[in-house]
């Protein structure tokens, strides 16, 4: 995972494909992210998180590890899955503690854990929607976990509602409905959209430099990093709006275990004195539980069966 420097002392950390052309957040990749972040040179003005895949930013978490143990499954046991999720939470959280602005340069599909990783950065910079008419296939973005009868495990329930309309974000997370890139642009998910795919990294670099070179008052209220992402629902600038949206939409969410888990994590982030950490704890606990329910087992097995065809 190269961390190359570019002008203005902004580092670019590139996530290398590890499953064919895809980038998947397996344990080895998370370990490499940790090592790379620990080895960043001093004096940086910012960091851009990019993908080495031509088709995806990050496809998501390692579903083989999440699948419930059983015949034909390589899934981790409950303790192992909890440790994998907790480790990812800690490593992604390192992005939220860097003493300078960060941005994710999203060049393709960003799903589940991939979008969660990106949202730990201060800014999201998107590639443009070139459109089918130009011969390009639009790419999906979102948190599809509920579609597999599980829930996010790396903060997504508390991150997405601080990036787009909170009612829409909570509803999408509770149902597993993703967006195509054009809809994500319209929803305001990105802090900036590059004029073309070729200039994505340069656009992200310029955005980072424009934030002022330190985390300071530009990104985090009070001027100091506090261990939580700069944009999550517990921040004063988002909390009241998200609370109002959650109160309006909560009773309309699907009557599923996944939706209830999403609602519980949102509630924890908004109301618990432990805030961000409480939300992460709920996500982790619920994901470990949900993957072993009959619905979770069937949905994840169905995903693998479909992918083999």
Supply the residues annotated as catalytic: 116, 145
Q: 49-71: string of b/e by CB count within 10 Å (b at 16+)?
A: bbbebebbbbbbbbbebbbbeee
Residues 148, 296 contacting (CB under 8 angstroms) = yes
Distance between CA atoms of residues 264 and 134, nearest Å = 42
Alpha-carbon span 280 to 293, nearest angstrom: 20
Residue whose C-alpha is closest to residue 93's, from 290, 243, 288, 277: 277
Report CA-CA distances (Å) from 46 to 40, 42, 105. Answer: 11, 11, 13
Q: Which residue bears the tokens 């004195």? A: 273
DSSP string for 254-292: -SSHHHHHHHHHHHHHHH-TTHHHHHHHHHHHHHHHHTT
Please give the structure tokens belonging to residue 238: 């988002």
Instruction: Tell me the sheet residues that pair with 60.
Output: 24
Cα(295)–Cα(260) distance, integer angstroms: 14
User: How many CB atoms lie under 10 A from the CB of residue 168?
Assistant: 16
At 230 the three-state DSSP class reads: coil
Query: Which helix (H) or strand (E) element contains residue 40?
Result: none
């Amino acid at each position: 995972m190269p961390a190359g420097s570019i002008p203005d002392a902004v580092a670019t950390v590139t996530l290398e494909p590890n499953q064919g052309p895809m980038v998947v957040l397996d344990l080895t990749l998370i370990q490499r992210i940790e090592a790379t972040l620990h080895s960043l040179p001093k004096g940086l003005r910012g960091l851009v998180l990019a993908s080495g895949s031509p088709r995806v930013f990050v496809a998501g978490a390692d579903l083989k590890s999440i699948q419930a143990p059983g015949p034909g499954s390589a899934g981790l046991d409950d303790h192992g899955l909890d440790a994998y999720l907790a480790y990812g939470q800690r490593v992604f959280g390192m992005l939220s503690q860097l003493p300078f602005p960060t941005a994710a340069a999203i060049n393709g599909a960003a799903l589940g854990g991939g979008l969660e990783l990106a949202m730990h950065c201060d800014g999201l910079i998107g590639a443009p929607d070139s459109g089918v008419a130009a011969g390009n296939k639009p790419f999906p973005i979102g948190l599809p976990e509920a579609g597999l009868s599980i829930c996010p495990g790396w903060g997504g329930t508390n991150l997405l509602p601080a990036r787009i309309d909170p009612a829409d974000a909570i509803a999408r997370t509770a149902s597993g409905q993703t967006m195509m890139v054009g809809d994500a642009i319209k929803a305001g998910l990105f802090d900036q959209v590059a004029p073309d795919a070729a200039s994505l990294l340069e656009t992200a670099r310029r955005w980072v430099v424009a934030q002022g070179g330190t985390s300071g008052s530009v990104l985090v209220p009070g001027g100091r990093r506090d261990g939580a992402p700069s944009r999550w629902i517990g921040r004063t600038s988002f909390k009241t709006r998200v609370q109002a949206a959650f109160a309006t939409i909560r009773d309309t969410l699907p009557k599923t275990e996944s939706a209830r888990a999403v609602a519980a994590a949102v509630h924890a982030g908004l109301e618990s004195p432990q805030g961000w950490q409480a939300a992460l704890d709920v996500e982790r606990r619920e994901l470990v539980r949900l993957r072993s329910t009959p619905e979770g087992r069937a949905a994840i097995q169905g995903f693998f069966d479909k992918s083999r065809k």
